[in-house]
Amino acid sequence: MTNILLCCSAGMSTSLLVTKMQHAATERNIDSKIWAVSVDEVEQHINAADVLLLGPQIKFLRGEIEPLANGIPLGVIPMRDYGTLNGGKVLEFALSLLDK
């Protein structure tokens, strides 16, 4: 199972994206857990994640969040994919971070 954690400013704006990503994972037979939390909650969830994706609106916090990730792959969701709620592309992005 691949555990993908999304983080945004309040945890709300990524909830629709999580649904789209879950749908894309199901279509591709990818066993995954995908969930979103606010930046204030990320520290409590990071140890359960295989990869952490930041919403583009909080990319400026990457330097603060990266030490919490403790080596877990971390990336900023591309603005275009985030804005269009392209769950398939964001899922591919998350999986590509795991392959590095």
- The residues assigned a catalytic role are 8
Strand-pairing partners, residue 14, are: none
Residue 85 zone, left/alpha/beta (φ > 0; ψ -120 to 50; rest): left
Query: Burial level of 13, CB count in 10 A (0-12/13-18/19+)?
Result: middle
Start-to-end C-alpha separation, the chain: 18
